[in-house]
């Protein structure tokens, strides 16, 4: 069984802007299924298409079953158009740090202004250093899940709290 173990953090915008970083990759993704126990997502980049299945999160919200398969880009685009009703757009940056690589998502569209960093671990006990641009941990906050952002975009959060 494929297991994803990751932690999620907000990113300090000023420190991120000052960081020398590689080119990012544009992602479009949509959800075929998304509920409390599983998600089925299709994702398209310039050079790849993927379909991903994710199971429920464990008690600590770090671990869950995950299966991801590359599919032809034309089919991924057809699935995005014909089978998904919501999704997100973002630019992903891969930043090596120590023994790990951070994946930093700079969201656009309805989630513009949100920057989230994820680190994938080999075990829940892995120790890692947080780069200076890492801010608050949000692993336990479901609002920051991409599937949640597709349904409840970041641009509406402030209005909901008013």
CA–CA distances in Å: residue 70 to residues 73, 100, 111, 132: 9, 23, 26, 33
DSSP 110-159: GGTT-EEEEEE-SSTT---PPPTTEEEE-TT-GGGSHHHHHHS-GGGHHH
Instruction: Establish whether 93 is a catalytic residue.
Output: no
Catalytically annotated residue among 31, 50, 69, 156: 31
Rounded to whole angstroms, the Cα distance separating 115 from 121 reads 20
Rounded to whole angstroms, the Cα distance separating 46 from 26 reads 7
Contact 135, 116 (CB under 8 A): no
Give one word for 25, left, alpha or beta, with left for phi > 0 and alpha for psi -120 to 50: beta
Residues designated catalytic = 31
């Amino acid at each position: 069984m494929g297991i994803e173990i990751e932690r999620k953090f907000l990113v300090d915008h000023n420190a991120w802007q000052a960081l020398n970083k590689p080119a990012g990759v544009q992602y479009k993704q949509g959800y075929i299924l998304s509920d409390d126990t599983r998600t089925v997502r299709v994702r398209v980049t310039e050079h790849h298409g993927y379909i991903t299945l994710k199971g429920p999160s464990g008690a600590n919200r770090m671990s869950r079953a995950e299966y991801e398969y590359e599919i032809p880009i034309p089919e991924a685009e057809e699935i995005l158009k014909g089978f998904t009703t919501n999704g997100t757009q973002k630019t992903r940056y891969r930043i090596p740090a120590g023994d790990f690589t951070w994946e930093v998502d700079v969201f656009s569209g309805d989630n513009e202004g949100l920057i989230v960093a994820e680190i994938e671990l080999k075990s829940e006990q892995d120790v890692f250093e947080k780069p200076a641009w890492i801010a608050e941990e949000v692993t336990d906050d479901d609002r920051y899940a991409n599937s949640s952002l597709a349904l409840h975009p970041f641009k509406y959060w402030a209005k909901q709290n008013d």
